[in-house]
Amino acid sequence: MSASIAIQVLPQAENDQELCRIVDEVIDYIRQTSLRYEVGPFETTIEGDSYDQLMDIAKECQHVAIRAGAPKVSAYIKVVYRPEGDILTIDQKIGKYQNH
């Protein structure tokens, strides 16, 4: 694993229910990428072997939110990239905290 991103998509929405609907569509898009991901209360972490693929996914998340009806979307993205070698995986970072 050479890269991971954490992305928080914040679509403009009329109410919390609409906001959650749009975010659910973004998460469904991420699920369809078939990459390893973990949904958290503030952001979703995605890991992969291609930095460019993860950047394309981050970009597409904005498009998904707009197509889902958001007139505007903001996103906060964290990136870890190590072109030569591995990075810590999701499981290595939080595996010991699962099932609590």
pLDDT of res. 100: 59
Position 1 pLDDT exceeds 90: no
Residue 92 confidence class, pLDDT cut points 50, 70, 90: very high
- d(C-alpha 64, C-alpha 75), whole Å: 12
Q: 29: closest CA among 1, 71, 58, 70?
A: 58
| pLDDT tens-place string over residues 23-64 | 999 999 999 999 999 999 999 999 999 999 999 999 999 999
Position 69 pLDDT exceeds 70: yes
Q: Where do runs of H (alpha helix) occur along 1-89?
A: 16-32, 51-67
Average pLDDT, the chain: 96
Q: Kindly tell me the number of DSSP H helices and DSSP E strands found in the chain.
A: 3, 4
What is the reported pTM? Answer: 0.92
Could you say which of 3.40.50.720, 1.10.3720.10, 3.30.70.930, 3.40.50.620 is the CATH number of the domain covering 3-97? 3.30.70.930
Name the residue ranges covered by the structural domains of the chain: 3-97
